Structure 1
Amino acid sequence: MASVASVCLSALVAVAMWTGVGWAIGRRLGLPAVLVLPVAPTLGWAVQTVASLTAASVFGLDGWTVLLPVVALLLLAALPSRRIPARQKVLGAWTYLAVAVLAAVPAAAILPKVTAEGVFLAAPIFDHAMIALVDEIVRDGVPPGNPVFGQGGTAGAVAYPYLWHFGAAQLALLTGASGWEADAAATWFTAFASLLLICGLARHLYGAWWTSLFVLILSVGGSLRPVIGLLIGAPQMAAWLEPPTGFASWAFQASWSPHNVQSAACVLIAVLLMVRLAVRPALGPSLGLAFVLAAGAESSLWIGGVGAVLSGTIVAALLIARMDGRRLGFVLACGGAALCAAALASPFLSDFVHRAGVARDAFPIGLHLFPVLGPGVPDTVRRVLDPPAYWLIQLVLEFPAIALPGGYFLIRMLRRARGERALLLTALAGLAGASLFGGWVLASTAGQNNDLGWRIVLPGIFVLTACSAAGVARALTRGGPAPVAVVLVLAMFALPAGTQLAASNLTGRANPQAFAFTQAPEVWAAVRAHTPVDARVASNPRAFAEMTPWPINISWALMADRRSCFAGIEMARALAPLSPVRRTELSAQFDRVFSGEGGPADISELRFLYGCRVVVVTPADGAWTRDPFRASLLYRLVDERADAWRIYQAR
């Protein structure tokens, strides 16, 4: 099981390494002093991970390829520069402490909850089954093999943006943490870095110390659904509105999908650097822009790829229209950064897009308006009202104290702004508008969920959170109690959802397999003892299906530290370049084998077609009493414990 002490050690290493690099670089980029330290964790992560990934792709991944880029970047940043800003007001120490504490809420979702009844897991662990990819990178370096499936037992390849997981793997290499522990530490770091960035932006927009306090208040909230359900009843709400999705608050997104949150933070920093280039084009900010763009794209195709292109184009056009001069220099600096970012990310992105297309039998992006109104609304009415309902209902429903208040305060600030501040607010307005527009009209066709629509709004929500907090802080000191009251009341109504999320992350989900799960670490330790690091293991993909909200091979993902022959349909959907039909066929075949209904032909295909060199059967499998491997000439029993496991090796 994951150790809290190991997670804390890895988190401390993450803060020291990435914040140190980011601070050394950020103070040379001409950013306002109040932003240098809040930007530092994400900026340092972006530059170091991209540099280290490039080095590891050439020289292999080890401690040296992790630390040498850190040393080189620190030495480069130590060179004399006139861009280091004078001291200005910065965030107070209490802000950093409060942000660190709040960041523990998403991280808690990843940790096991060990009780007398067994082990409970929180719902977001479902999306963190990609921990198997972290272990794969630690074992085999980059580009990673496919831990989920490899034809004939080969290493295979991954159709997934894995830079965030590469960052977690670096922590595992440096501290000796498991992939599970490194993932939890990286989740905490991402939550810390992104929330700190929002606090810094809000403080830059309005300088009062309590501005950051309002960011924290707004960030702990969630949807209005619990309150509405209490008022009108859950059945009525289900009839009027579509069910809740991943289109949700910072706390929810940081818990479920931290790599998208990290990508959104990179996009926001990219816009801040574009503003810096609009004021005075220079090489340093242009290089910084290239690295954060590359990091954003390699962490999330939806936000750092599609979202960055959409919002970057709009922001650049708005800045050019508002600039008094130096337009050519700005275009050259931004264009050069974009080309450099494309060069850094192109090997990864081209491979990802190709394999994703194979896996989905279609281009992974389409045009589709975000559905808001539920089945109780007549189809003819829904077709007319759904488009405006996104802006008038969905955004208010999921971001009650952020979307409309943030937009209102952003417009007010923009009307009063002059000079460089006008450029900043123009860029922020363009980013917010582009992000929300993308969520409205774009949809991903990959998989069953609209991950593109759910995630692309994140940079805009970051901006509107900062603007709402800055607007409330300003109204509090300038005699405007009405806006303050409205936002705080909305934040209060959003608090139940945030409280529910925090409680769920901290306590986990009760389930009947909790006690049996306590035995899983011992099972997988025995499997590893008989499995070479490059071999593939066959296990029941539906093992511990009730531990997560939807069935997924969670014990393998968290604890196996070995490749699987076929890790299940959900894992294959995310990682394996398989068509939907082929995924379904494989799922049915492995279900058949581990239910005890597989025949000699199935066992032969496991051995030769899928390269399953090791097989583990447990009492929870139907194959325990109708074991097709015991009678097979292709496998031999190498380890057995009564009522615990049987482990077979290929002959």
Structure 2
Amino acid sequence: MSFVSDFFLHSILAAFVAAILFSLPGLGVLRLLGLMTRKHIFAALLVAPALGLCTYGPFSLAFTALFGYSTLTIIVAWLLFQAIVLFWIRQQANAIGFENFCTLSHTHSLFLLIGAALCAMIPTMNIFPAVYQDALFVNGHIYDHAKIAIVDAIAREGLLPINPYYAPDGETIPLIYYYTWQFLASQLKLLTGATGWQVEVALNWFTGLASLSFLCALAIRMTQKARAGVFLLLFALTGPPGYLLSLLLGPRWADWVGYPPVHSLELWWIQMSWVPQHVFSALAVVVLIFLMTRVLVSERERFSYAVVAGLTAAAAFGASVWVGGIALLFALPFLILMALWIRLPKRHYFNALKTALLAVAICVLFAIPLLISQTSGPSLVNAELPFGLGLYTATPLFNKEPYWGYIAHIVLFWLQFLPLNLGIVFVLGSLAVLLRSSTTRLEERTFQALSIGSIFGFLLIVQFLQSTIANNDLGWRAVLVPVMLLMVWSAVALTALSTHYFETVSKWRAAALLERWRPAILSLVMVGLTLCILSSANLWQLPDPSYRVPDAHTLAMRQAFLRQTEAWAKVREYAGPTERVQANPDGYAALTPWPVSIPYMLFADRVTAYASPEFAMAFAYRYDKEQRNEQYKLIQNIFSAKPTGDALRRVRDTLKVKVLLVDKFDAVWHSDVIESSGLYQLVFMEEDFKIYVAP
């Protein structure tokens, strides 16, 4: 069977297992919350994947961290979770009323599920491999999926995860990172036997499905119209209009429609292509906002909502400290302010406060494994904060200095930068959430108020805060929560614009004006939607290189890249699951947008002494920088044309590297220094690689 065929079949298997593993718990949770009846099971399937990920995920992580990580404990955790939910439902069956999250026919529900599944395939294709002339190709997005090594490490060695990228002076250190999403992927690996890359593809797709289907259900709940879900899927396919406008208008208008020299803010499908863990975290935050809405409008305490909210908050934090941790913490005052703005009866706030306190306690309890990992390693006493103040550069029209330049950047962030980055989703969604008038439905008014607090609170965080560890992940990823909510409100607005009944229009301020100018407004919205979808089409591409034949050197490198699958499979025959291996950290660096040894990340399934400068820094940023640099130079030495005996000895004795993998592109390939050193023995050789083992 060919590489791609085998990859596809195992990815499909893992995706199927993910659908069962995470959706069935979600159905139980939905029933527990009183939001599902048996008559609308298909409609419930729109919501179940998100709830399953957000609740079963942190529960299973805490359970397996406590009782050990294996296929058996995964199954036990899953069955136990189901049993607890089922028992709880039966205990309070008479105490809760059942409704539907959204009321849809089976046909509409099925079509929306299929639509969400197809849309989720679009970003997932960016990390799917293609083989052309016996060469392996994949889009540059695979760079940010080098965390596949974490998936492999968890599946191989359990919790708490060790750092697979860096071993300072041969010491096995814990992983300082948020890893709930990778932990869920590792479950698929243990249950299916697929590779880390294959389960990454499967869970990437399922995360996209879960996020889109939940947002569809939310838009339908707001409008009671099935087409709101269809509109949401269209908004999910939009891209940043600035790129296309620059092409259409030419260089004369570049400063007005172009981007400043900073990382742009990205919409749903682009973020899904790069960082599904942050998308999952943002999804959990949106689920949390919905749960907060339900708690606020309830006249009595709901213990079940506190538990589900606590687990969801733990999932948000565990998937991304930036989105579900720091950004959510700073956005809370905006949420509280908007909750008070709607002036609910005091007993509602009192019940909500008690529910929130219990939810926080549950969140902390189930986030303990993540907290241990985050605080491990060198002492935090002298560590700097991972974020700080910093104004986002918004326009190429002005410098930030003098003071009026800062003011211009603050204003143009909202008037130029966000519309050019987020397009019709920002323009229409912002107007919708601000202009939709208060309705008699308390839940809708409350969700609208919390949406306003979340959208503008998170965007202010993006504008004025930035992370200080290498990249501004705080700003780049915190925008996901506003993006998701703006997608919902854009779908709500387009549903209203496409409805010819005055009772729908009457929910909007200046209803008469909206009715009078409806055709013109609808036309402008459709033009904007079309432009943004065309922008996506301009940006998205298949990894298939057949339409752009690579040069001879690139083709040779890609052919060797494909054979790295065989090389690492052979390495694993000589290195046990806990033994350390080492390949050239600079090898195959040209395959990704930023230099990284991508074959190790995708195929190794073993720990290494030093993977690459980027990942050694990112996942061990509190460790000594000079030591990292020295170890990097040491590893570079043994793969150079003239490695020294002292370097080889230190790699074997200090770094405890059992197996060396030398590639034909490494400078040491033509040298016999390693063989003659007596420190490593040549045990296997093919035309593309050699394997050395320490005796």
Aligned runs of 1:113-192 on 2, under 5 Å? Answer: 113-116=130-133, 118-192=135-209
- Any conservation in 2 of the 1:22–1:43 contact (CA below 8 Å)? yes
Q: 1:547 aligns with which of 581, 584, 591?
A: 591
Structure 1 window deviating more from structure 2 (317-326 vs 400-409): it is 317-326
* One-letter amino acid matched to 2:558: A
Q: 1:367, 1:441 within 8 Å by CA — same for their partners in 2?
A: yes
Give how far 1:532 is off: 1.1
For 1:556 and 1:354, the matched residues in 2 are separated by 25
Per-residue deviation, 1:7: 0.5
Residues 543 and 443 of structure 1, relative CA distance in 2, 3 Å threshold = same
2:503 match: none
**Aligned partner (choices 298, 309, 331) of residue 311 of structure 1:** 331
Separation in structure 2 between the aligned mates of residue 494 and residue 583 of structure 1, nearest angstrom: 44
C-alpha distance in structure 2 between counterparts of 1:244 and 1:112, whole Å: 29
- 1:565–1:333: structure 2 CA closer, same or farther, 3 Å change rule? same
- Name the structure 1 match of 2:460: 437
Q: For 2:431 and 2:57, locate their aligned partners in 1 and report how far apart those are by CA, in whole Å.
A: 37
Contact in 2 for aligned 1:268/1:459 (Cα 8 Å) = yes
Superposed, 1:387-398 pairs within 5 Å as: 387-398=410-421
C-alpha displacement of 1:361:
5.4
Select the structure of larger CA radius of gyration: 2
2:582–2:608: 8 Å Cα contact kept in structure 1?
Answer: yes
Deviation at 1:377, TM superposition (A): 5.2
In the alignment, what sits opposite 1:626? 671
Q: Distance in 2 between matches of 1:179 and 1:235?
A: 47
Describe the shift of the 1:89–1:133 C-alpha distance in structure 2 as closer, same or farther (beyond 3 A): same
Amino acid at match of 1:39: V
Deviations 1:162-187, CA, capped at 9 Å, x for gaps: 11000000011111111111111010
Deviations 1:591-620 (A, max 9, x none): 232122432222222112222111111110
Deviations 1:217-271 (A, max 9, x none): 1111111132222134469737963246362010000110000000000001111
Aligned-pair CA distance for 1:14: 0.8
What pairs up with 1:522-561 in 2 under 5 angstroms? 522-561=566-605
Query: Which of 103, 114, 117 is matched with 1:89 structurally?
Result: 103
Q: Against the structure 1 CA distance between its residues 378 and 422, is the aligned structure 2 distance closer, same or farther, given a 3 Å change threshold?
A: closer
Whether the 8 Å contact between 1:410 and 1:429 is mirrored in structure 2 is yes
How far apart in 1 are the matches of 2:595 and 2:14? Answer: 29
Which moves more between the two structures, 118-127 or 73-82?
A: 73-82
Mapped contact 1:241–1:375 kept (Cα < 8 A): no
Question: Does the Cα contact within 8 Å between 1:359 and 1:576 map onto a contact in 2?
Answer: no
**TM-score, with length taken from structure 2:** 0.88
- Give the Cα–Cα distance (whole angstroms) in 2 for the partners of residues 588 and 233 of structure 1: 46
Give the 5 Å matches for 1:475-554.
475-478=497-500, 479=515, 480-504=518-542, 511-512=554-555, 513-554=557-598
Distance change in 2, residues 1:304/1:178 (3 Å): same
Q: C-alpha displacement at 1:347, in angstroms?
A: 4.1
| 1:509-543 Cα shifts (integer Å, max 9, x gaps) | 95442222121111111111111111111110121
Q: What secondary structure does 2:201 align onto? A: helix
* CA separation of 1:505 and 1:84: change in aligned 2, threshold 3 A: farther
Equivalent residue, structure 2, for 1:8: 12
Q: Which of 62, 76, 79 is the aligned partner of 2:70? A: 62
Q: Unaligned stretches of 5+ in structure 1?
A: none
CA RMSD of aligned residues (A): 2.5
> Where in structure 2 are there 5+ consecutive unaligned residues?
501-514
Moved more, 91-100 or 121-130: 91-100
What do the CA deviations read for 1:560-617 (whole angstroms, capped 9, x no partner)? 1111111011121222343444333333332232122432222222112222111111
Secondary structure at 1:616 match in 2: strand
The residue number in structure 2 matching 1:247 is: 265
User: SS in structure 1 opposite 2:58?
Assistant: helix
The CA distance in 2 between the partners of 1:357 and 1:315, in whole Å, is: 33
Partners of 1:140 and 1:235 in 2: CA distance: 57
2:23·2:52 contact (CA, 8 Å) conserved in 1? yes
Contact persistence 1:535–1:612 (CA under 8 A):
yes
Report the TM-score when normalising by structure 1.
0.94
Instruction: State the aligned residue count.
Output: 649
Q: Secondary structure at the match of 1:518?
A: helix
One-letter code of the match for 2:480?
Answer: L
1-side partners of 2:44 and 2:389: how far apart?
38
1:223, 1:494 within 8 Å by CA — same for their partners in 2? yes
2:394/2:412 contact within 8 Å kept: yes
How has the CA–CA distance of structure 1 residues 459 and 36 changed in structure 2, closer, same or farther, with 3 Å as cutoff? farther
Partner Cα separation in structure 1 for residue 598 and residue 616 of structure 2? 13
Match of 1:372 among 390, 394, 418: 394
Distance in 2 between residues matched to 1:68 and 1:424, nearest whole Å = 37
1:323 equivalent in alignment to 2:344: yes
Q: By how many angstroms is 1:63 displaced?
A: 1.7
